[in-house]
C-alpha cells in the first residue's frame, strides 16, 4: 500500500485542501493489485474555490472537477437521499459542511469506503480493511437497498475477487434479494445493465456474476432467457473463446453465454439489454457456428454458413468464426479454412466473361462457390 503521495503534497493547486484518495484505488492497493485510476474527494471546499484553482467542472449531477494537468477527477464530498426510482433517483447535497465519513457512508460496500490522505493516512470508519482481510463483500448500511445498481455491482465485484476467496455476507445477499423483490431493478436503464454485465464478463470469474444474480433472484428480471437448464450450459461455454482475437473477450464470452438460446430468445434478450449492434451480431454469428458444428460438415451447410456470415462482403466475420472453430472443434478448422479459401477464389468477373448476367450471374456464382466448397471438403 502506497504510504503517501509526494506529487500531491507538492501540488500548489491542492495546497490547503482536504484531499483523499477513495474507492477502488485504495481497495486494490490494499489487495496488492495495480491501481489504474485514482478518484479523489475534496472535503470542505466549494465549487467556486475549485474553479479559482483552475479545476474544470465536468459533473452534471454533482460537483466533479478535472485537474487541469493530470485530468484526474476530484469530487466534492456529498451526501445522497433517495427521491425516486432507479440508480438516478437521488437528491445530492454537496457543501463544505459534508464530512469525509458522511461521504463514505453513501458508498455501497465497506471495502469501497476507505479513504487515504495524501500523507498516506487511512480513514476506515466501516472496517473495510477487516472485510478485505476476511475476504467479505459487505454493505455499509441499509441504504444499500436504495440503489438497485448495487445488486449488479456487488455481483460484478464478486466476479472479480472470487478467485481471492471473497464471498458476499449473508446479510448483504439478503438485501440484494430484497431489492430484486422490490421492483427497483426494473427501473434501471438497459444501457447501465449492459455496462455492468460487460465489465463482469471481462472479470476473472464471469460465471460468478450470473450465479450470484441467480442466488439473489435478480436473474429472471433482466436475463429470464438464461433461467433453468440454459444457465449451466451457457456458463460452461464462457471460457471457450478465441485467443489473440481483435474482438473483446467480454463480447466473445457474451456470445458463448447465449449460444444455447433459440434465435427468438437471443434476439429478445439483445433488445431488452439494448446491446450494441456489434455484440448482438457476434452472438448471432457464434450461434450459426454452433449450428454448423452440430450438423454434417457438407457443402450446402458450409456454404449456408459462409453466406449467413456475409463473408463475401465482410471476410473478417468469417475469420473471426474460424478462430472460434479453432477452439470449439480444432480438428475441423483446416477443412473449413480450405473451403472458405476455395469459395473466395470464385470470381464474378470470370463468370461475366462467360456470358452470365443479372439473376443468372448471381445463381451461377452461388453454384460455383458451392462446388468449390464441396471439393475442398473432400
The rounded radius of gyration (Å) of the Cα atoms in the chain is 26
Q: Label residue 75 left, alpha or beta by phi (over 0 means left) and psi (-120 to 50 means alpha).
A: beta
90 neighbors 154 (Cβ within 8 angstroms): no
Given a cut of 70, the residues of the chain with pLDDT beneath it are 1-7, 59, 61, 82-90
| Cell numbers that stand for 212 in this block | 450470484
**Between the CA of residue 167 and those of 74, 160, 172, 214, 300, what are the distances in Å?**
31, 11, 10, 15, 50
Q: Architecture of 1-134 per CATH?
A: 2-Layer Sandwich (3.30)
Residue (of 112, 199, 115, 117) closest to 147 by Cα position: 112
Element (DSSP H or E) covering residue 282: helix 277-294
What's the whole-model pTM score? 0.90
Task: Give DSSP secondary structure letters for 210-226.
Answer: HHHHHHTT-HHHH-GGG
Residue among 293, 280, 194, 196 nearest 240 (CA): 293
The pLDDT tens digits of the residues spanning 240-270 come to 999 889 999 999 999 999 999 999 999 999 9
**Cβ-contact 81, 100 below 8 angstroms:** no
Backbone region of residue 107 per phi and psi (left: phi > 0; alpha: psi in -120 to 50; beta: other values): beta
Answer for the pair 325, 332: CB distance below 8 angstroms, yes or no: yes
130 to each of 21, 34, 119, 138, 186, how far by Cα in Å?
19, 20, 22, 11, 34
CA angle 281, 282, 288 (to 5 degrees): 95
Sequence-distant (6+) residues with CB within 8 A of 33 are none
- Find out whether 128 and 27 touch, Cβ atoms under 8 Å: yes
Distance between terminal CA atoms of the chain? 62
Count of Cβ atoms closer than 10 Å to residue 317 Cβ: 17
Return the domain boundaries, the chain: 1-134
CA distance 15 to 64: 18
The set of cell numbers assigned to 69 is 494537468
Amino acid at each position: 500500500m502506497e504510504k503517501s503521495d509526494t506529487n500531491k503534497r507538492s501540488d500548489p493547486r491542492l495546497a490547503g485542501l482536504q484531499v483523499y484518495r477513495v474507492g477502488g484505488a485504495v481497495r486494490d492497493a490494499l489487495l496488492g493489485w495495480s491501481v489504474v485510476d485514482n478518484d479523489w474527494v475534496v472535503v470542505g471546499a466549494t465549487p467556486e474555490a475549485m474553479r479559482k484553482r483552475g479545476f474544470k467542472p465536468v459533473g452534471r449531477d454533482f460537483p466533479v472537477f478535472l485537474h487541469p494537468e493530470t485530468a484526474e477527477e476530484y469530487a466534492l464530498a456529498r451526501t445522497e437521499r433517495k427521491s425516486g426510482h432507479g440508480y438516478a433517483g437521488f437528491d445530492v447535497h454537496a457543501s463544505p459542511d459534508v464530512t469525509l465519513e458522511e461521504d463514505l457512508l453513501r458508498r455501497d460496500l465497506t471495502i469501497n469506503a476507505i479513504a487515504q490522505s495524501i500523507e498516506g493516512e487511512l480513514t476506515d470508519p466501516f472496517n473495510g480493511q477487516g472485510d478485505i482481510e476476511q475476504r467479505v463483500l459487505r454493505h455499509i448500511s441499509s441504504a444499500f437497498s436504495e440503489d438497485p445498481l448495487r445488486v449488479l455491482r456487488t455481483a460484478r465485484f464478486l466476479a472479480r475477487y472470487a478467485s481471492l476467496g471473497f464471498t458476499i455476507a449473508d446479510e448483504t445477499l439478503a438485501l440484494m434479494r430484497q431489492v430484486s423483490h422490490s421492483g427497483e431493478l426494473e427501473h434501471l436503464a438497459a444501457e447501465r445493465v449492459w455496462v455492468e454485465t460487460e465489465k463482469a464478463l471481462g472479470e476473472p470469474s464471469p460465471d460468478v456474476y450470473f450465479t450470484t444474480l441467480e442466488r439473489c433472484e435478480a436473474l429472471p428480471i433482466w436475463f429470464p432467457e438464461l433461467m433453468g437448464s440454459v444457465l449451466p450450459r451457457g456458463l460452461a461455454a464462457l471460457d471457450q473463446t478465441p485467443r489473440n482475437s481483435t474482438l473483446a473477450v467480454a463480447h466473445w464470452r457474451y456470445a458463448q453465454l447465449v449460444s444455447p438460446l433459440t434465435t427468438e430468445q437471443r434476439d429478445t434478450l439483445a433488445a431488452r439489454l439494448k446491446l450494441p449492434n456489434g455484440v448482438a451480431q457476434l452472438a448471432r454469428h457464434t450461434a450459426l457456428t454452433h449450428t454448423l458444428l452440430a450438423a454434417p460438415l457438407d457443402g450446402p451447410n458450409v456454404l449456408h454458413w459462409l453466406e449467413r456470415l456475409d463473408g463475401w462482403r465482410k471476410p473478417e466475420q468469417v475469420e473471426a468464426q474460424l478462430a472460434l472453430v479453432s477452439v470449439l472443434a480444432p480438428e475441423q478448422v483446416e477443412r473449413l479454412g480450405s473451403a472458405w479459401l476455395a469459395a473466395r477464389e470464385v470470381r464474378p468477373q470470370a463468370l461475366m466473361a462467360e456470358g452470365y448476367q443479372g439473376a443468372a450471374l448471381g445463381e451461377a456464382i452461388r453454384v460455383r462457390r458451392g462446388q468449390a466448397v464441396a471439393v475442398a471438403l473432400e
